[in-house]
């Protein structure tokens, strides 16, 4: 499932199941156009090595491209597991993800290139997203009916009922990726927290403390 696209976005997806340069099964590629930033998401269960590559001459010659984990960290030019990465696109004409070594499974790859100053899998949140409410004092409540790997979380809105409201935690499956500790708030205004991410470990889950509720917006199973 996919988030809404911005008007200036280029989006290409494919499932890699072999090595080589066969479109869709061995590579997922795109022209860059006017894009200045881009991102890659890899989902699935697989044993393979995927190369991030760029071309400066319209796809004739390909060289390694350094990309950076969306959550922060050092740059890489290849991947052997799921994740999300971002990169600058200025100066190149094409970008691709190529399977250079394959053993088994399917690597589902999505490329997004945008003209914005920075990349997000959800540069614009618009009407059409689903929402799920989470009342106060809930533990690991699914966003969605059951939730699943690949669900998309655009953002959450935290709604404190008192200035001493409890903590909010968001998990991707069993992995905690965000904690909001309220402490003593200055007012009771809602707090919006952007994510723009797909789950890679299971359903999105929210835990709320006393006197604080959450609304999650996205595309949930």
What angle (nearest 5°) sits at the alpha carbon of residue 167, between those of residues 165 and 170?
140
Residue 123 lies in a domain: no
The total number of structural domains that make up the chain? 2
Q: 99-156 pLDDT, tens per residue?
A: 999 999 999 999 988 875 544 444 344 446 789 999 999 999 999 999 998 888 888 9
Q: Where do the DSSP E strands lie in the chain?
A: 10-16, 27-31, 37-43, 46-55, 63-64, 68-69, 78-79, 83-88, 94-105, 107-114, 130-134, 141-142, 152-160, 168-172, 175-180, 191-198, 204-208, 212-219
CATH of the domain at 154: 2.60.120
Q: What is the pLDDT of residues 39-77, one digit of tens each?
A: 899 998 999 999 999 999 999 999 999 998 887 778 899
Q: In the Cβ-directed half-sphere of 9, how many Cα atoms lie within 13 Å? A: 20
First-to-last alpha carbon distance for the chain, in angstroms, is 10
Three-state SS for 107? strand
Does 90 lie in the same domain as 137?
A: no
Same domain assignment for residues 109 and 136:
no
Residue 126: predicted pLDDT: 42
**How confident is residue 174, by pLDDT bands cut at 50, 70 and 90?**
very high
Tell if the pTM clears 0.75, that is, is over it. no
Q: Domain range holding 168?
A: 130-219
Residue 186 lies in a domain: yes
Burial class (CB in 10 A: 0-12, 13-18, 19+), 11: middle
């Amino acid at each position: 499932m996919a988030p809404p696209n911005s008007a200036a976005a280029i989006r290409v997806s494919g499932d890699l199941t072999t090595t080589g340069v066969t479109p869709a099964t061995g590579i997922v590629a795109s022209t860059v156009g006017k894009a200045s930033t881009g991102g890659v998401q890899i989902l699935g269960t697989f044993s393979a090595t995927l190369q991030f590559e760029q071309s400066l001459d319209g796809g004739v010659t390909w060289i390694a491209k350094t990309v950076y984990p969306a959550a922060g960290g050092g740059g890489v030019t290849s991947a052997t597991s799921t994740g999300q990465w971002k990169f600058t696109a200025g100066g190149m004409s094409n970008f691709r993800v190529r399977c250079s070594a394959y053993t088994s499974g399917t690597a589902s790859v999505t490329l997004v290139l945008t003209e914005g100053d920075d990349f997000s899998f959800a540069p614009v949140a618009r009407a059409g997203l689903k929402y799920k409410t989470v009342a106060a004092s809930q533990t690991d409540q699914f966003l969605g009916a059951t939730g699943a790997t690949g669900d998309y979380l655009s953002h959450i809105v935290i709604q404190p009922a008192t200035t001493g409201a409890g903590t909010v935690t968001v998990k991707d499956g069993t992995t905690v990726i965000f904690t909001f500790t309220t402490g003593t708030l200055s007012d009771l205004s809602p707090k919006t927290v952007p994510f723009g991410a797909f789950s890679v470990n299971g359903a999105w889950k929210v835990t709320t403390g006393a006197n604080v509720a959450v609304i999650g917006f996205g595309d949930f199973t």
